[in-house]
Amino acid sequence: MLLLADRGFYSFSLWQKAKSTGADLLWRMKSIQNLAVDERLEDGSFLSKVFEIANLKRSGEGIPVRVIEYTLDDPGRPQAEARYRLITTILDPDAAPAEELAAVYAQRWEFESALDELKTHQRGPRVVLRSKMPDGVLQELWGYLCVHFAVRWLMHAVAIDVDTDPDRLSFTRTLRVARRTTASHPGFSPSGAG
């Protein structure tokens, strides 16, 4: 199991607790934190140690980590920043090369983007579920998920037609187009209704 976490979650005690579960960890860390290079590895990563901080000083012997630093060369990504720093419990670069771990971490963003699409753009900010009963809440949640799937399917179909990555298409623009299209068609009576 590989547990990923964003830079706001790192603390020495939380790292220790997560590591004690037996899962491998791959966490983003603030690039301002000073991590000494103990050994440079052939994939560009390096071995270092993280320490518990008490009274603004390091305490203990530290825990070995592998550090992966990289930049994104992708102006199409809204998350593009100057520099990224990941730390991992996987110390052997042959078991998981730095480039692969950086790519895995980027996939975490895609999941967060999907949650943002659902919560903020599709449903709308500060909109609460209208249902008051458990069955109604489930029905409403399934409705949101079905609409999200339909919009994502539409994006995939368009991306295939224009030979591009569906992640390069804007969810909010696609959602607006879908809303305009459904709102512009007049209602119709079910077949057989009199």
Instruction: Over range 19-30, report the average pLDDT.
Output: 92
Token pair of 97 as six digits? 């090369």
Q: Mean per-residue pLDDT for 26-39?
A: 87
**pTM value surpassing 0.75:** no
What integer pLDDT is reported at residue 6 of this predicted model?
85
66: nearest Cα among 84, 94, 83, 89: 89
pLDDT of residue 64: 95
101 with 156, same domain?
no
Structural domain total, the chain: 2
Same domain, 154 and 78: no
**Residue numbers of the domain that contains 175:** 128-184
Is the same domain home to 42 and 76? yes
Q: Kindly provide the b/e burial profile for residues 160-179, where b requires at least 16 CB atoms within 10 angstroms of the residue's own CB.
A: eeeeeebeebebeebbeeee
| Domain-located, residue 98 | yes
Binned at pLDDT 50, 70 and 90, residue 39 comes out as very high
Tell whether 153 is covered by a domain. yes
**Residues 146 and 176 grouped into a single domain:** yes
Residues 92 and 38 in one domain: yes
Query: Both 65 and 136 in a single domain?
Result: no
Task: Supply the pLDDT for residue 8.
Answer: 83
Same domain flag for 10 and 88:
yes
**Which of 50, 79, 108 is the C-terminal boundary of a domain?**
108
